[in-house]
Amino acid sequence: MRAIRSGFLQMLVFMRRDMMLSAACLAPVLAGLGIRFGIPFLEAVLTERFSRSAVLSPYYALIDIFFSMLSPAMFCFISAMVSLEEADEKTAAYLFVTPLGRKGYLAARFCLPAAAAFLVTAALLPVFGLSTRSLADILSLSAGGTLQGVIVALLIVAFSSNKLEGMAVAKLSSLLIFGAAVPFFLRQDAQYIMSPLPSFWIGKAVFEDTLVFMLPAFASSAVWIRFLLRRYLRKI
């Protein structure tokens, strides 16, 4: 446990040196302020300009989903980049033979940042969310967003062998979050083409206002994480 704590603190030191730590703390709050005050203002401007009763407000729940994925995406992306640099410089292999070990390394680089992202999201969503939600909604959205962040981080480290490939995979994998928008825009059965994506089920749970749909979101996340973790561990 001490080794995991040290491993996590070591990563925080790297992040502080790059000013990423302050950015990771500030960005969700700034984005939250932008959403909480900017989107309703924009809605007022757009409804007046286009003489419509609603332009953005039907999608407030979708904006909340994207906000719930923001902190996990940031925290996990930073962890993925640190891991990628460590894999690039071959320091990860050395860390595996220290008391930290493989499991400890994974806990320090992915589990602890994900846990921090979950807590931050659960704390910020009730403050900056645009639609009113119950405690169960907030906790499950935060958990879904966190799992999505972990999947993106694992995709980056599992499918790239250097920073450049990491950025390319990050670009492609960031598109996975848009699965959440599908139930809002595609009402026919064709929407189920996106069902392998956890974000699709998160979108479905919010759109249908039925928490049961979070179960396939968690189950598909588990499948993705298991597959990616195995590939990552085989690679390093």
Radius of gyration of the chain (CA): 19
- Binding positions for another protein, rule: CB under 8 A: 14-15, 18-20, 23, 45, 77-78, 81-82, 84-85, 88, 162-168, 171-172, 175, 185-186
**Residue 19 CB, nearest distance to another protein (Å)?**
6
Nearer to another protein among residue 178 and residue 218 (C-beta)? 178
- Whether the CB-CB separation of 122 and 28 falls below 8 Å is answered with no
What single-letter DSSP state applies at residue 109? I
**Residue 165 CB, nearest distance to another protein (Å)?**
6
Dihedral of alpha carbons 74, 79, 83, 86, sign: positive
Nearer to another protein among residue 45 and residue 212 (C-beta)? 45
Nearer to another protein among residue 19 and residue 97 (C-beta)? 19
Q: List the alpha helices (DSSP H) in 101-213.
A: 101-106, 112-128, 135-159, 163-173, 182-185, 198-207
Q: How far is CA 79 from CA 84, 145, 180, in A?
A: 8, 16, 24
Q: Exposure of 85 by Cβ count < 10 A (0-12 exposed, 13-18 middle, 19+ buried)?
A: middle
Residues in the chain: 236
**Residue 4 CB, nearest distance to another protein (Å)?**
21
Nearer to another protein among residue 167 and residue 236 (C-beta)? 167
Nearer to another protein among residue 20 and residue 141 (C-beta)? 20
Nearer to another protein among residue 175 and residue 219 (C-beta)? 175
Work out the number of other CB atoms within 10 angstroms of the CB of residue 56: 17
Please give the helix or strand (H or E) that residue 63 lies within, else none: helix 60-88
**Residue 171 CB, nearest distance to another protein (Å)?**
7
**Residue 141 CB, nearest distance to another protein (Å)?**
24
Q: Tell me how far apart the alpha carbons of residues 141 and 187 are, in angstroms, rounded to a whole number.
A: 22
**Residue 170 CB, nearest distance to another protein (Å)?**
9
